[in-house]
Each structure stands twice: as C-alpha cells, then as structure tokens.
Structure 1
C-alpha cells in the first residue's frame, strides 16, 4: 500500500512543504494501518517547518494527531478490526494519507463527532490534561492564550473542576472565552492592572500557552509565592520560575476529553479546514497567528 506524505527537505517558509509517495513496509506487530480522514495542525508543526524548533533530522514529516479508518491491523489482537473508525496520536507522523500507529494509541471515534473534530482532538486534549496532572489541586488559575486549541480545553477542564479561571485573549475572542466559562481579559498593555481589577487576590497557578514576555511578567505578578507557573509554548522564558510542561500521552486522559465532547459537556472549535492538497496555505495561516480553536487537514 502507498501513502502520500507531507515532507520538508529543508527548513523555511511553507513553500518548503512537498508531497511524496512511499510504499509502506509490512505492518508491524502491535500496530494498525489507518486511512486518514482528518489530521489536526498545531503551532509546533509550523515551528518545526521553519526550523525554530528542531527535534528531528531532515527531511522531516509532520503531524501528531489524526482520525481515520483501520484498513489493516495486527491480527494477533482481538480488540480492533478493519473498518473501525478511530482517532488518536500518531506514530512517526500524521500528515499523510495512510499511516501506521501503535494500537496502544487508538480511541474509538464516537459516531456523533465529525472527522474534523475527531482528527484534531488528541494533541490538545492530552496536553491540557497533562497540565492539570502537573498543577495538582488548585482553586484559581490564570490562562494566557485561552482561545486556542489547548487553551479552549484547559479553560473548560478548569470549569469542570470548579476552578476559578481567568483567561487572556484578543479583543475579538473575549465572547468566546466567556462562552467557555472563564472570565475574559484582553492581553496587551496594562494587562497586570486589568487582572488585579477583576481578580484582586493572587492565583494558585498560571499556564502560558502563548510564549510571550507579557505572559511571564503577569504570572510573576499574579501567582502566589510557591504557586505553579508553567508554559507549554516551548520558548525560552526570562524567569526560571516558569516551568516547561511537556505533553504526556495518556489514553485515559484522551478518552475523558473525547467522551466530554461526544456528550456535549465540552465545546470543541474547528475554525479552519483545508484539503490536504492545500497544506502550504494551512501552515502559512498557522504562522500568521491562530488564536481560536484548531486548524485541520481534510483527506478525500
């Protein structure tokens, strides 16, 4: 079986992205072969493309999440079968027409979740759940960048836990933050003063999803001494008090969010859908600023 794979042989702007056809090797034990229907695009994909964030040798492939249909499966197991609709985290990449993924990464796709939503769940869901695993029990939380893919579910998980949550976003996304259940604040000049007005007491924790110096300074000013201050942005920060948080794949965590979306307890926003053939445009839009929900590649 052949797969069309998105690949880059050098770092740079989206025009470095190209498509290559590869004949897949025989399916390994413990894996499933998936015909991809949708695959989320995350900022880290675009940052890897430009070379800002390097963790693999060239040429590089992209994507960490997907939804699709099993077309071949390890026959030594009896949980999954050909034709099952699934979602999850990928193996080596997910921006491709056919991929091989570990069986341990599979979650059944609920029938009432469309492909675009299903294909964009795994990365943000597990990142958001990892944040709460790291933070522990808290009563109040400041979220920097609450309208993006991870931010949106962090806000809703906080609300579910009964946490008093305040989230920053652009002026255009204030109504969206309020819809998710948080107190909304516009980022930009004067942020700390605005935060003090709406939340006079210090927060138990903060999480930075934007990677800005403003977020760092607001956390230092607004979080209690010995409170948790973390970032998932993967960028250098000016204070050692801001702890990097790296996603841990956890099937139970993913299933919690998938079930919540399926049951209508969590809102999941897909703001942009692109045919796989327009991946360059999708990556270009990610680089220009993606602040509401998720972007998704759709496969015919």
Structure 2
C-alpha cells in the first residue's frame, strides 16, 4: 500500500457567523486506516446545510467545524479490502466527516467509479443530493402526485426527475425566473409568493398525495397543509423548526446503490444535471456567501 500526500488543507470555522469565519488549516491525515481510500479531491459540492452550520443556525457538532459531504477525485492510496479499486482511479462519493479539503480519507464502501463522460464538476456535486432525493421518494412511498417546494435547487432538480421516472406527477414551486427550467425537467411549475395556494390548486385541482419542503419556509408549510390529502405525507429536509406536527423530517440515508442508479442515469443522458457556479477552493468564502443568498439553480461547488 502506497501512503503519500498525508498533508491536507481543510476548510475550517472556529466560530459561528458569516463566511468571514472560514479559514484554511493544514492537517496531517496520518496513516491510512484499513477499509479507507485516500483521495486527491478534484471538486466538492456545497449544500445549504453547510452554510447553515457555518452560521450556527443548524448545530450538530461543536467547534471547530469542517464541511462537505460529497466529492470527486483520484485515489492516492488505498487500504486492504480495496473492492477492486486501485491507485489512480477516478471516483466520486460521500465523505466521512468532511470533503472540503484538498486530500480526504473516505471509506472504500462509499466510492463509485466516475464515468468518463461525466465531468469532475458533475461528479463532485452528485452524491449528497442524489441519495437525499432517493431517500425522500423511498420514504414517502407509493404516490401518484408530489408537491416539491424549492424544486429548482440541487436536491429538488434530481427529485423532480426521479419522481417523473417513477410515473409521479410533480408540482414544483420556484422563483419566476426558474419556472421554465422546472418545466424542462417535467414538473408543473408554480411561482412561489403571495397567492401560492391558489396557484397550486389551479395547476393541480385534485388534492396532492404528498409534499416535501426543501427550503424551510412557513409559506411552504401552509401551502402543503392546504393542498395535500388529509392522510398524505408532508415532509421537510430543511432541518428548520416547523409550525405543524404533521410535517415530518427526512434525513438522508447513504446508499451507494442509489447513487450508482443516478450516476448511470446521468452517464446515459436520462437525467439532467445543472451546475450553478464553480468556485476555486481559495474563494470558498465567496461560495458560502452565495449559497446563503439562496435562489441557486442546481449545485454550487468548490474546485481544487
């Protein structure tokens, strides 16, 4: 086993606050553990939860914080039980605590091979949102119609397509400038804002089987309560407090088979993937500031 490149530059926050709290820190990864691969990161997706952890709005660990859950890169070193992977392989997957770093150690079971016809940018932004989308649909169960609030973001975009592939009618809310994009993915697109409930009912007069909120607004909660069947599931992935006990949280379940399904669909052209912006790693503060603004179309990511 080769074991080089032990020094990694991590994105770190030693306090809660805006993007100015972010700093870079060199860290010695040490000896590679069995069952792990050491990856030279090429790209890593940024998700809204990363920014909300930075500000302290969402806390699930203490300080200092590291960030990132998805990546693409090349294997620098690999431990025993390599599962057929080797040094030099191009891979993507979910991290093990952080991926916003120049070199990361990742459980081998989290890896899948990067198809040649998928860019590093797409590969590095797909794992978290794809597995979240598959978790949503698996947990909501057998439905015929689904309301998605915030449908133009990373998770929303692939959830729309996966739902359509299952034969589900999707009503997606988004800002006015993203309605055409939503329609291109196969959703019935509805502009959010004043009058949302009436517009949803006009677009889909029948009561909707289920809803999922990806942005965490009271408007989304009330619109779901008003348009979803009394026994229908209303879920949220936003991780924010909700005003109704009927709204249940859904947390991502990591499943490489689900990720492989989405990646295969991207490689074949069955699914679309939208990259909003790519930031060099040394401009991570700008990237986190942008994602805090909201209104992204697809994914933001860091490039190393």
TM-score, normalised on structure 2?
0.97
The match for 1:18 among 9, 18, 23 is 23
**Aligned equivalent of 2:34:** 29
Return the match for 1:122 from 114, 117, 127.
127
Q: Residues 82 and 108 of structure 2 are in contact (CA less than 8 Å); yes or no, is this contact kept in structure 1?
A: no
Indicate if the aligned counterparts of 1:145 and 1:291 stay in contact, CA closer than 8 A. Answer: no
Decide whether the 8 Å contact of 2:145 with 2:210 is kept in 1.
yes
Give the secondary-structure state (helix, strand or coil) at the position aligned to 1:179: helix
Is residue 146 of structure 1 aligned with residue 161 of structure 2?
A: no
**Which residue does 2:94 correspond to in 1?**
89
Match of 1:79 in 2: 84
Secondary structure of 2:60 counterpart: coil
Q: 246, 266, 271: which one pairs with 2:276?
A: 271
Q: Deviations over 1:249-286 (max 9, x none)?
A: 01111111111111111101011000000000000001
Deviation at residue 78 of structure 1 after TM alignment: 4.7
Deviations 1:120-147 (A, max 9, x none): 0000000000001101110011111110
Q: Distance in 1 between matches of 2:295 and 2:38?
A: 31
Q: How much does 1:57 deviate?
A: 1.2
CA contact (8 A) 2:35 2:80 kept: no
Residue 296 (structure 1) aligns with: 301
**Contact 2:208-2:229 within 8 A present in 1 as well:** yes
Q: Whole-Å Cα distance in 2 between the matches of residues 57 and 235 of structure 1? A: 19
SS in 1 for 2:127: helix
Mapped to 2, the partners of 1:296 and 1:15 lie a distance apart of: 18
1:49 counterpart residue number: 54
Q: CA deviation at 1:77?
A: 3.1
Contact 2:45 2:302 (C-alpha < 8 Å) held by counterparts: yes
**Unmatched 5+ stretches in structure 1:** none
Provide the aligned C-alpha RMSD in A. Answer: 0.8
Q: Which of 161, 179, 185 is the equivalent residue of 1:180?
A: 185
- Following superposition, the deviation at residue 75 of structure 1 comes to 3.5
Q: Is 1:202 the equivalent of 2:210?
A: no
Q: How many residues align?
A: 299
SS of corresponding position for 2:17 = coil
SS of 1:193 mapped into structure 2: helix
With over 3 angstroms needed to count, the CA separation of the structure-2 counterparts of 1:165 and 1:75, relative to structure 1, is: same
Structure 1 CA distance, aligned partners of 2:145 and 2:108?
37
Q: Secondary structure at the match of 2:44?
A: strand
Q: Are 2:238 and 1:238 aligned? A: no
- Structure 2 alignment gaps of length 5 or more: 1-5
| Secondary structure of 1:210's aligned partner | coil
